[in-house]
């Protein structure tokens, strides 16, 4: 019996000194996944302030098939990393984060089909090219501007990061950095001079946007070819006798898609259902400001302010983040 106890003791001691343990990762076979969110207009790491949950989808690079889904807990986000024991191989890891602690409740689905009831991704069968991260949605019957609307109106902010060519070979732990990018932003629409609008009722104007930029491939490019047009309505509206302000949460503005699949801003008389002016191409309007010259400038911004000032003669001036821009047909319709 004594001999057996000694064998068990030395076996346990061997595992503690030579095995894969939290305090000593030298003999582990895996990764230290490290997270930051400095890709913002403050150039500060705002991970803890803005990201409430992270989910990592690990794909084998030789087959392109999903092999693991790693859930990152709140304590791991707080310290900025998590350990993952991975078999030898070469991998692509796609990380998605949300502002709440539950990405699904926050309005998002990981799927392989952009449908109203999307099938969940599956380890062993979902491919990297078929993977989509999308807003869950409901249909909008008989709506001429959009076909669908988010199931969760106040959907979470969404974050994305990717690490490619991750090689795991032999013992030891390799650190893999994930620098998150924020896909969502707020479009604040301010309308001054609403008291000059002809036939103006006490009801606020109907302000909303539409876009096809809400279902992302693994590389963070919206799949606009497959996505129906989404209606984005304000999360908050304030109005008084001469001014209205509406905040509308947006998905990623991609410059390359602005010509063929624009995000459109509508300003409509709520009483009569008439557009007060032609829909504004939001991305084109933003690019007229000297503050935004490329995709990185737009991706780093958290708040875009489009302000319309209506004069007594119904002429209109439009600014983006304080910079006056030119829009076509800027005349308020009767």
Tokens 């997270």, residue?
Answer: 35
In a 3-state reduction of DSSP, which class is residue 162?
A: strand
Confidence at residue 18, expressed as pLDDT on a 0 to 100 scale? 40
Report yes or no: 179 and 160 within 8 Å, Cβ to Cβ.
Answer: no
CATH number of 185-325: 2.60.40.2090
Architecture of domain 2-106+156-182: Sandwich (2.60)
Domains in the chain: boundaries: 2-106+156-182, 185-325
Taking the mean position of all CA atoms in its chain, how far away is CA 301? 13
Confidence at residue 25, expressed as pLDDT on a 0 to 100 scale? 46
Q: Give the up-direction half-sphere exposure of residue 23: CA atoms within 13 A in the CB hemisphere.
A: 4
Q: Do the domains spanning 2-106+156-182 and 185-325 agree at the CATH topology level?
A: yes
Region label for 101, one of left (φ > 0), alpha (ψ between -120 and 50) or beta (otherwise): alpha
268-312 residue pLDDT tens: 987 778 888 889 999 999 999 999 999 999 999 999 999 999 888
Regions of the chain with pLDDT less than 50: 1-2, 4-19, 21, 25-27
CA–CA dist 9, 5 (Å, integer): 6
Confidence at residue 2, expressed as pLDDT on a 0 to 100 scale? 42
Confidence at residue 16, expressed as pLDDT on a 0 to 100 scale? 39
Report yes or no: 123 and 159 within 8 Å, Cβ to Cβ.
Answer: no
CA distances from 242 to 194, 202, 292 (A): 5, 11, 30
Residue 330's nearest CA partner among 297, 294, 306 is 306
């Amino acid at each position: 019996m004594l001999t057996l106890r000694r064998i068990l003791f030395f076996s346990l001691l061997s595992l503690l000194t030579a095995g894969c343990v939290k305090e000593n990762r030298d003999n582990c076979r895996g990764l230290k996944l490290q997270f930051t969110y400095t890709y913002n207009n403050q150039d500060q790491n705002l991970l803890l302030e803005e990201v409430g949950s992270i989910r990592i989808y690990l794909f084998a690079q030789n087959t392109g098939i999903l092999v693991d889904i790693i859930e990152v807990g709140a304590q791991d986000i707080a310290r900025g990393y998590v350990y993952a024991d991975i078999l030898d191989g070469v991998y692509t890891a796609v990380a998605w984060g949300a502002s709440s602690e539950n990405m699904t409740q926050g309005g998002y689905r990981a799927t392989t089909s952009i449908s109203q009831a999307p099938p969940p991704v599956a380890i062993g069968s979902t491919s990297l090219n078929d993977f989509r991260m999308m807003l869950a949605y409901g249909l909008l019957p008989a709506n001429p501007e959009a076909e669908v609307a988010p199931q969760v109106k106040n959907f979470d902010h969404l974050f994305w990061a990717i690490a490619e060519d991750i090689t795991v070979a032999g013992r030891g732990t390799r650190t893999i950095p994930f620098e998150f990018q924020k896909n969502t932003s707020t479009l604040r629409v301010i309308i001054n001079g609403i008291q000059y609008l002809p036939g103006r009722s006490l009801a606020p104007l109907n302000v909303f946007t539409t876009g096809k930029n809400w279902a992302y491939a693994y590389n963070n490019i919206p799949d606009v070819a497959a996505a129906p047009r989404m209606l984005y309505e304000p999360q908050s509206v304030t109005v008084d006798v001469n001014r209205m302000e509406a905040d509308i949460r947006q998905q990623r503005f991609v410059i390359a898609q602005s010509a063929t699949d624009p995000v459109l801003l509508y300003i409509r008389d709520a009483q009569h259902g008439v557009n007060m002016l032609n829909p504004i191409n939001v991305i084109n309007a933003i690019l007229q400001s000297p503050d935004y010259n490329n995709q990185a400038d737009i991706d780093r911004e958290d708040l875009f302010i489009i302000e319309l000032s209506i004069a007594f003669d119904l002429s209109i001036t439009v600014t983006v983040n304080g910079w006056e821009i030119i829009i076509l047909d800027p005349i308020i319709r009767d």
